[in-house]
Amino acid sequence: MYRNIVEKLKEWKVKQRRKPLILAGARQVGKTYILKKFGEMEFDNVAYINCDGNNMAKDLFMQDFDMRRILLAVGAITQQTIVPGKTLIILDEIQEVERGLSALKYFCENAPQYHVAVAGSLLGIAMHRGESFPVGKADVLHIYPMTFDEFLLARGQRQMADLLRGKDWDTVKLLRNEYIKILREYYFVGGMPEAVGEFVATNDAWKVREVQDNILFTYQKDFSKHVSVSESNRINMVWHSMPSQLVKENKKFIYGVAKPGGRAKEFETAIQWLMDAGLVYKAERVREPKMPLKFYADIASFKLFLLDCGLLGAMSETPPENLLVARNGMEESKGAFTENYVMSQLVAARNASVFYYSNDAKLEIDFLVQQGTSIVPIEAKAEENLRSKSLSTFVTSHPEMHGLRFSMSDYREQGWMTNVPLYAVSTYF
C-alpha cells in the first residue's frame, strides 16, 4: 500500500548532511512496512533487524560503539553485505535494545555514509534505561494512520485521489456520491493499515472490526509495559473515557468523565503518555486568535481525539451498519466521528499543532491552524447544513482571516469563507 511519507523518505535519502532516521509513530501505523518498502524501492539491498526478542541483537551495542564492529555484526545477523549508499539498515523496535538510542549518535558522527533508519516506540527509554534522546544527531519523520487519500489508493481509486490532490473541484463534484460512499467506508475502517488491508482483501465489516478490536487490545497491553500499575490504571481511565468525551457538545476534555471527582493533577501524566505514544491528539484552546497561536494557548482547556476514526467506532462499539448504511450515520453522536476524522486528517497532513477557540459568549471555533503567516479558523460539519453562525461571527470580528468549513457540501467560495468537501481534508493543505 502506497504511503505519502515515501516522498519524504526519498528526500531524506539524498539529503546533504543526512543523519540516522527515526520514524516515529503509534504502534501498528505501518512504520516497519513502509521502511521495508522504501528499502526495496530505493536501495540495492536491505539489512533488517527486529530487535524485539532477538538474542543476537540484544547485545549489539553493549560492548562499545565501534562502528566497524557493529556494521560487521549487522551484516552477519542479516546475511547482507553492507555497502554505503546502497544498503538501507533498518533497526526495528529499537527500544528493546539497550543503548540502541545512544548508538544513533555514533552512526551520525562516525559512520555518516551509511543509511540507517530505526522504528519503534521510544516511550520509557530515558525513564527506564537512563538513555537520552540523541539531540541533533538524528532526523525525525512522523507517520500516522492512513489518510483518506491513501485509503482511496488502497481501494484502487488512484484517479479519485489525484482529482482531490489536483483540486479539480468541477470533476470532484461529478463524483460526489462515490466520494461520500468511500468516505463512509473510511469512517468505519479508519486508517490503520492492517484494518485497511483486511477490508480491501475481504470486504467483510466484521473481520475489519475484529482487527480493530485486536489493535485496541494490543494498545491496552502496552499501557502496563512501561509504567507502574497505578499509572497504567489512570491511562486506562483516560483511554476508556474517550468516546464519552467526544460525544459531548463542546468536546472539551473533562477529568470527571474519566473518573468521578478526577482532577488535572491526577491525570496529567496519563494524558501525556497517550500523546507521546501517538494514541491521542490534543487541540489546546487559545485565549486570543493571534500569531503565533502557541503563545496564547490555555493549557488547562483542551480537546483530546483518538488517532483513528475506525478505532473510535470499535472502542464505542458503534454497529458497522450505522456508519456504512444509515442515512444519518455520519451525523450521529453529535458529530463525534466527523470532528475526530477532521482532526486526524489535519494532524497527518500538516504535522503541526492544531488549536480551537472559545469565549465566554459561547462562541466556539472547532479548529484553528497556522498556515504560513495566516491563521485559519475551521468549522467541521457532519452534514450539508450551510449555516455557520459561529464561524461567520468570528470572521466578522477578525476580517483579516478567511474561514474554512469542511462539510458534505460541494466546494464553493463564499467571500468570507471557503467550503471544502469533507473528503478533501487530507489533500486541501
Q: What is the pLDDT of residues 288-305, one digit of tens each?
A: 999 999 999 999 999 999
For residue 17, the model assigns a pLDDT of 93
Pairing of strands 21-24, 87-92: unpaired
In a domain, 159, yes or no: yes
Question: How far apart are alpha carbons 319 and 407 in whole angstroms?
Answer: 23
pLDDT: which is higher, 253 or 132 = 253
Based on the fold, state whether residues 273 and 421 are members of the same structural domain.
yes
pLDDT at 388 over 60: yes
Confirm whether 237 is domain-assigned.
Answer: yes
Residues 133 and 153 placed together within one structural domain of the fold: no
pLDDT at 222: 85
Residue 258: pLDDT band (50, 70, 90) is: very high
DSSP state at residue 64: -
Paired residues of 367 in beta bridges? 378
Say if residue 171 is in the same domain as residue 127. no
326: containing domain: 148-428
Work out the average pLDDT over 17-39: 95
In a domain, 16, yes or no: yes
pLDDT digits (tens, 9 = 90+) for 100-118: 888 999 999 999 999 999 9
pLDDT band at 327 (very low <50, low <70, confident <90, very high): low
Average of pLDDT values for 345-369? 92
Q: Does some domain include residue 1?
A: no
- Model confidence at 86, pLDDT cuts 50, 70, 90, reads very high
* Between 413 and 123, the higher pLDDT residue: 413
Choosing from 94, 113, 142, the residue where a domain stops is 142
227 confidence band (pLDDT: 50, 70, 90): confident
Angle formed at CA 423 by CA 172 and CA 167, multiple of 5 degrees: 45
Question: Between these two residues, 100 and 140, which has the higher pLDDT value?
Answer: 140
> Domain check: are 264 and 405 in the same one?
yes
Greater pLDDT, 251 or 13: 13
Domain boundary among 117, 142, 167: 142
Q: Could you tell me if residue 42 is inside a domain? A: yes
> Is residue 386 over pLDDT 70?
no
Label the pairing between strands 403-407 and 412-413: unpaired
pLDDT at residue number 387: 67
pLDDT band at 334 (very low <50, low <70, confident <90, very high): low
- pLDDT greater than 50 at residue 125: no
The verdict on residue 410 lying in a domain is yes
How does 324-337 read in b/e, with b if 16+ C-beta sit within 10 Å? eeeeebbbbbebbb
Domain end position, chosen among 142, 161, 184: 142
Q: Are 38 and 187 in contact (CB under 8 A)?
A: no
CB–CB of 38/9 below 8 Å? yes
d(CA 297, CA 333): 28
Query: Who has greater pLDDT, 62 or 297?
Result: 297
Q: Where are the beta strands (DSSP E) in 236-388?
A: 280-286, 297-306, 355-358, 364-371, 374-380
> According to the model, what pLDDT value does residue 124 have?
44
Question: In sequence order, what E strands does 168-219 have?
Answer: none
Q: Is 245 inside a domain boundary?
A: yes
Q: What is the mean pLDDT of residues 170-189?
A: 96
Do 238 and 338 lie in a common domain?
Answer: yes
Report the pLDDT value the prediction gives residue 190, as an integer from 0 to 100: 97
The β-bridge partners of 281 are: 305
Residue 284 cell numbers, joined: 489546546
Q: Could you tell me if 331 and 202 lie in one domain?
A: yes
How far apart CA 70 and CA 361 sit, in angstroms, is: 62
Give the SS3 label for residue 425: helix
Q: How far apart are CA 6 and CA 22, in angstroms?
A: 14
47 and 165 Cβ atoms separated by less than 8 Å: no
- Decide: 407 and 381 in contact? Cβ < 8 Å: yes
> What is the model's pLDDT at position 185?
96
Confidence check: pLDDT of 329 > 60: no
pLDDT over 70 at 330, yes or no: no
Tell me the pLDDT of the chain averaged across its residues. 91
Beta bridge partners of 355: 284, 368
Instruction: Judge if 78 and 157 occupy the same domain.
Output: no
Phi, psi of 326 (to 5 degrees): -55, 140
SS (HEC) of 246-264: HHCCCCECCHHHHCCCCCH
| 303/198 same-domain check | yes
CB atoms closer than 10 angstroms to residue 253: 23
Is 158 in the same domain as 67? Answer: no
| Number of domains within the chain | 2
Alpha-carbon span 121 to 23, nearest angstrom: 9
Task: Give the pLDDT of residue 243.
Answer: 94
Same domain, 71 and 215: no
Is 48 inside a domain boundary?
yes
Alpha carbon distance 216, 211 (integer Å): 9
Same domain, 136 and 174: no
- Return the ∠ at Cα 92 (arms to 47 and 110), rounded to 5°: 65
282 and 400 share a domain?
A: yes
Q: Is pLDDT of 127 > 80?
A: no
Question: Three cell numbers at 88?
Answer: 538501507
Coil, helix or strand at residue 140: strand
Which residues have a Cβ under 8 Å from the Cβ of 231 and sit 6 or more positions away? 269, 270, 273
Instruction: Determine the pLDDT at residue 348.
Output: 96
Residue 126's pLDDT band, with cuts at 50, 70 and 90, is very low
Q: What was the pLDDT predicted at 366? A: 95
Terminal Cα-to-Cα distance of the chain (whole angstroms): 22
The CATH number of the domain holding residue 83 is: 3.40.50.300
